[in-house]
Amino acid sequence: MRDAEAAASRSADAASRASEAGQRPADRAAEQAARATSPKAADLTQPAATGAAPGPVVPRHVAIIMDGNGRWAQARGLARIRGHEHGIESVRAVTRRAAALGVGQLTLFAFSTENWKRPKSEIAFLMHLLRKFLVDERKELMENDIRLRSVGRIEGLPKDVQRALARTQEMTAENRGTTLCLALNYGARLELADAAKRLAEDAAAGRIDLAALDDTGLEAALGARLYQPEMPDVDLLVRTAGEQRLSNFLLWQMSYGELHVTDVAWPEFREDDFDRALQDYATRTRSFGGLLQR
Ligand code: FPP
**Domain locations in the chain as residue ranges:** 2-6+54-282
Residue 262 in contact with ligand 1 by CB distance below 6 A: no
Which atom from ligand 1 is nearest to the alpha carbon of 90? Answer: 10
CA distances (Å), origin 105, targets 18, 21, 61, 237 = 23, 26, 5, 12
> pLDDT by residue (tens digit) across 251-267?
999 999 999 999 999 99
Summarize pLDDT for 59-105 with one digit per residue, the tens. Answer: 999 999 999 999 999 999 999 999 999 999 999 999 999 999 999 99
Identify the sign of the CA torsion 69, 65, 277, 131.
negative
Residue nearest atom 7 in ligand 1 by C-alpha distance: 110
CA distance from start to end of the chain = 32
* Ligand 1 proximity of 130 Cβ (cutoff 6 Å): yes
Ligand 1: which atom is nearest the Cα of residue 182? Answer: 15
Ligand 1 pocket residue status of 71, Cβ below 6 Å:
yes
Distances 4 to 7, 12, 18, 57, 103 between C-alpha atoms, Å = 5, 14, 18, 11, 10
Return the SS3 of 25. Answer: coil
Answer yes or no: is the C-beta of 84 below 6 A from any ligand 1 atom: yes
Contacts of 5 by beta carbon, 8 Å cutoff, 6+ apart: 45, 58, 101, 102
Mean pLDDT of 115-124: 98
What number does the ligand 1 atom closest to the CA of 83 have? 18
CB of 138 within 6 A of ligand 1: the answer is no
Q: Which residues are catalytic?
A: 67, 115
pTM, rounded to two decimals:
0.83
In this structure, the chain runs to a length of 294
110 Cβ closer than 6 Å to some ligand 1 atom: yes
Provide the angle, in degrees to the nearest 10, between the axes of the packed helices 159-172 and 120-136. 30
Q: Assess whether pLDDT exceeds 50 at residue 249.
A: yes
227 CA from centroid of ligand 1 (Å): 22
What single letter denotes the amino acid at residue 6? A
Q: What is the dihedral of CA 38, 42, 43, 44, to 10 degrees?
A: 90
pLDDT value, residue 289: 81
* pLDDT tens, position by position, 145-178: 999 999 999 999 999 999 999 999 999 999 999 9
CA of 25 to the centre of ligand 1 (A): 24
Q: What pLDDT score does 291 carry?
A: 77
H or E stretch including 259? strand 258-261
Q: Whose CA is nearest to atom 24 of ligand 1?
A: 70
For residue 70 and ligand 1, the question of a CB distance below 6 A is answered with: yes
Instruction: Determine whether the shortest distance from the Cβ of 108 to ligand 1 is under 6 A.
Output: yes
For ligand 1, atom 8, the nearest C-alpha belongs to 110
> What CATH superfamily is the domain 2-6+54-282?
Decaprenyl diphosphate synthase-like (3.40.1180.10)
Among 65, 72, 74, 84, which residue has the most ligand 1 atoms within 8 Å of its CB, making it the best to mutate? 84
